[in-house]
Every structure is written in structure tokens, then in C-alpha cells.
């Protein structure tokens, strides 16, 4: 089984306490958005470093970034001490190759923003990245704000389903997911994992523990429906 299989990522944690809550509820990965194109980061570099350290042995930490230079990106990963990296911007392919060669121990996720380009162009770019990344993540483009993540909006899941079947690496589904639609999304797309950000937050933009618990439990149940018996775990078992 791929190490990305049944991945449940919660993107954005305001502090160490919130990150540990996400892990305790069963999030397998916690995304730390930094160097963003539109949104403000939730934490400083130093705070993200403390979160990554606190998560060791509890959940995987993932830098989510729009940086486009391999050396700068790797330096930030090293400073933070993260386990993985989500490339959410337009890092040139040569830079992605250099990053892969310099950091074989990092797992690298390439974001594919649905709606930002024609589907065939997204597929072609994704295939070019296949030798240098471990997984893909589909997210939603918001033309009103120009945001390519943390939009709270779903995209056409049929596009993600086609990409999941066509691509040679696991696909993680993001974009407008929440406890109410995650099971339906998994049944429609059959992704290796799911990612949620704003769908787990209260009106103040903080992660809500009850929402996180329900999201994780329903995602696990949906994954288990397509897996051999015994793979599902209760939310509180993490």
C-alpha cells in the first residue's frame, strides 16, 4: 500500500495546541501553508517549526508553499523540519527535478489546480512531474479572488476522478471538503487521500475539534468501504 493511501490531511494550524488536536483526532498529515500567493499564512516560520517538532511521532508535517526556487524551498523545509512538501505554485520542472535529487527523503506532492487551465494541459503537466513527485493533489481555482487553495469551494469531482485514473501517482482530493461531503467525494473520485482546510474551521478561522473528528471518521469509513476489512480505525485511536 502506498504511504499516501488513506491520507487525511488538515491544512492550516494556528499553533502547536491546534496541531496536536488535529493529530489526536486522526489527521495523518498537517499542512503548514507558508510563502503564499493570496492568503496570509496562519503562522510564522518559527511557529511552523515548533509545530513540525511537536508533531513528530504523531502526524506527518507538510510545508504547503508557492515558492518556485528549489534551493530556497529546500532551505525552508530544512529549517522547519517537515516530513513533506506540497508544491502549490508554478515551480519550473527543472527546479522540481533539482529538489527531488537534493532531497530524496522528502515526500513531494504536486498540486493540480482544477479550473486554472484546461484539463488536458493539467494532465500533461502532471505526467511530466511524475518522475519527481510522490503524489498529486487536486484543488479548486476561484476566479473571483484568484486563489488556488483554501477557497472553501469544490470543483467538478469528475475531473479529479479522471485524473486519478490516468496518473501514475496517488491522487489526494482537496477543495471545499468538509464532514458533510467527504464520504460522497471519496466514493466519486476514489482518491488515495483527502485534504481539508476551511471546511474544518469555525467562524473565527480556527479548527473546530468536532468538525475534525467527524471529517476524519467519515473519511476513514469511506476509505474502508473500498478496502479489505480491518483497515478502518476509530477517530480517537490515533
Residues 116-160 pLDDT 10s: 789 999 999 999 999 999 999 998 776 566 666 666 677 889 999
Burial of 27 (0-12, 13-18, 19+ CB in 10 A): buried
Q: How far apart are CA 175 and CA 98, in angstroms?
A: 29
Contacts of 70 (CB under 8 A, 6+ apart): 91, 95, 96, 98, 99, 102
Averaged over successive runs of 10 residues, the pLDDT of the chain (238 residues) comes to 80 96 98 83 94 98 96 98 95 97 97 88 95 94 62 82 95 95 96 95 93 98 71 36
Q: Which domains does the chain have, with CATH numbers?
A: 7-226 (3.20.20.70)
* pLDDT for the residue numbered 227: 52
Q: Residue 5's pLDDT is what?
A: 86
Strand 7-11 vs strand 171-173: parallel, antiparallel, or unpaired? unpaired
pLDDT at 102: 97
Q: What is residue 153's predicted lDDT score, i.e. its pLDDT?
A: 77
As a whole number of angstroms, the distance between CA 43 and CA 230 comes to 37
Q: How far apart are CA 179 and CA 214, in angstroms?
A: 6
DSSP state of 6: T
Residues in the chain, overall count: 238
pLDDT at 134: 97
Helix (H, G, I), strand (E, B) or coil at 227: coil
For residue 227, the number of C-alpha atoms closer than 13 Å in the C-beta half-sphere is: 18
pLDDT score recorded for residue 68: 96
Amino acid at each position: 500500500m502506498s504511504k499516501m493511501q488513506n491520507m487525511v490531511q488538515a491544512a492550516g494550524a494556528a499553533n502547536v495546541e491546534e496541531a496536536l488536536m488535529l493529530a489526536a483526532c486522526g489527521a495523518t498529515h498537517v499542512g503548514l501553508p507558508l510563502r503564499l500567493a493570496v492568503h496570509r499564512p496562519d503562522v510564522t516560520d518559527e511557529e511552523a517549526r515548533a509545530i513540525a517538532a511537536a508533531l513528530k511521532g504523531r502526524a506527518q508535517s507538510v510545508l504547503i508553499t508557492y515558492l518556485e526556487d528549489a534551493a530556497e524551498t529546500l532551505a525552508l523545509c530544512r529549517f522547519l523540519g517537515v516530513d513533506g512538501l506540497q508544491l502549490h505554485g508554478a515551480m519550473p520542472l527543472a527546479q522540481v527535478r533539482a529538489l527531488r535529487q537534493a532531497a530524496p527523503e522528502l515526500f513531494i506532492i504536486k498540486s493540480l489546480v482544477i479550473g486554472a487551465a484546461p484539463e488536458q494541459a493539467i494532465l500533461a503537466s502532471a505526467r511530466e512531474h511524475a518522475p519527481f513527485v510522490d503524489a498529486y493533489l487536486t484543488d479548486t481555482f476561484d476566479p473571483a479572488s484568484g486563489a488556488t487553495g483554501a477557497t472553501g469551494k469544490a470543483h467538478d469531482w469528475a475531473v479529479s476522478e479522471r485524473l486519478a485514473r490516468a496518473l501514475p501517482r496517488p491522487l489526494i482530493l482537496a477543495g471545499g471538503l468538509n464532514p458533510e461531503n467527504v464520504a460522497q467525494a471519496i466514493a466519486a473520485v476514489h482518491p488515495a487521500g483527502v485534504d481539508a482546510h476551511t471546511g474544518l474551521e469555525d467562524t473565527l478561522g480556527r479548527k473546530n475539534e468536532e468538525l475534525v473528528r467527524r471529517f476524519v471518521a467519515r473519511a476513514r469509513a469511506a476509505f474502508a468501504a473500498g478496502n479489505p476489512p480491518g483497515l478502518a480505525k476509530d477517530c480517537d485511536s490515533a
